[in-house]
Structure 1
């Protein structure tokens, strides 16, 4: 999260948020001065899918892709709708609540393996940065080791 925050602060002017779509879904909010203002953590998309399939007798593992409709007509589409549409709502709500808390708009950067799955569903995510963590580690390395 720290490497992501450092890279995001270097790429953005003003307050920003990094949403990392990994095993956990993390929301890290950074001030324009580079201070981590706070973090929210939710289960990741794959974690949610694995939980449904692993903890229920009748629900299968499904590929995470956008279903044809929010109204699933079969089990696979119903799960995809619940996860893709549901997590899009979660992401949007956390962004809106963060902006209300800060009384400021924020630039939102998404990273992580499944970031594109949600980013294509909303206009609240402004940038996709596949290598954000590596970019942050590079900045840290340059600061520490020249």
Structure 2
């Protein structure tokens, strides 16, 4: 089976894949100092809980936007899974990156573009809710055309609370009332953070669709996609495992070639 590893700025996601099917999935906070040995002890226990063993893994693929984490993840693959890991993007990509600086596009965004095009061969906007919220445009041929990077909602809230001493910490959730005129400090924060973020999403998608000039589907991924989907009709497809699915597809293509 394939161990797909998606190392983001906030979490590292590990998924045990059989073809394109996810058999098990785990996440751990990103820490570039975490050693291969620490990963191995943690993963070994979780594999056993799910009824698997480390010997069941015969291939590893890694995508990371945290360069310092790559070494220890590579050692994990070679030392504990006896596999030379496939590093997403290390040998280039098999899609067109039609932007001014192709080398600067994050691996996770390219992987998302590959998976999104496999889901729908249309003009697409892929929104990934992570540490940053990214909006990526993939045209009907599968080419990556560029996008937008915005602060993630948690990052925005952290900045607000850190800069304003009297504002309380609030949860990321929809306000209890449909009113957008808050009558307490906390309700006003909920409105500003949540509905302000929904308005940003809808506004940016509308501007992108206008610029693209053709019917465009919106695919959303990331932990908060489901929450926002309950309060906007902007998404056409929710694909919570888009990046992991994309990694499995890249691995399959590498084996076939």
TM-score (norm 2): 0.55
Question: Following the alignment from structure 1 to structure 2, what is the Cα–Cα distance between the partners of residues 123 and 46?
Answer: 22
Number of aligned residue pairs: give it. Answer: 146
Alignment partner of 1:72 is 2:182: yes
Question: Following the alignment from structure 1 to structure 2, what is the Cα–Cα distance between the partners of residues 76 and 115?
Answer: 23
Question: Following the alignment from structure 1 to structure 2, what is the Cα–Cα distance between the partners of residues 116 and 70?
Answer: 21
Q: Say which structure, 1 or 2, has more relative contact order (CA 8 Å, 6+ apart).
A: 1
Q: 5+ unaligned residues in a row in structure 1: which ranges?
A: none
Question: Following the alignment from structure 1 to structure 2, what is the Cα–Cα distance between the partners of residues 76 and 140?
Answer: 45
Give the drift of 1:56.
1.2
Q: Which protein has the larger Cα radius of gyration, Structure 1 or Structure 2?
A: 2
- Are the counterparts in 2 of residues 84 and 117 from structure 1 also a CA contact under 8 Å? no
Alignment of 1:107-126 (within 5 A): 107-126=217-236
Greater helix share, structure number: 1
Q: CA RMSD in A?
A: 1.1
Question: Following the alignment from structure 2 to structure 1, what is the Cα–Cα distance between the partners of residues 180 and 236?
Answer: 23
TM-score (norm 1): 0.95
Greater strand share, structure number: 2
Runs of 4+ in 1 over 3 A off after TM superposition: none
Alignment partner of 1:42 is 2:160: no
- Are the counterparts in 1 of residues 124 and 138 from structure 2 also a CA contact under 8 Å? yes
CA-to-aligned-CA distance 1:22-75 (integer Å, 9 cap, x gap): 110100010111111111011000001111111210111110111013222222
Alignment partner of 1:21 is 2:135: no
Alignment partner of 1:99 is 2:209: yes
- Are the counterparts in 2 of residues 15 and 31 from structure 1 also a CA contact under 8 Å? yes
Q: 5+ unaligned residues in a row in structure 2: which ranges?
A: 1-108
- Are the counterparts in 2 of residues 87 and 118 from structure 1 also a CA contact under 8 Å? no
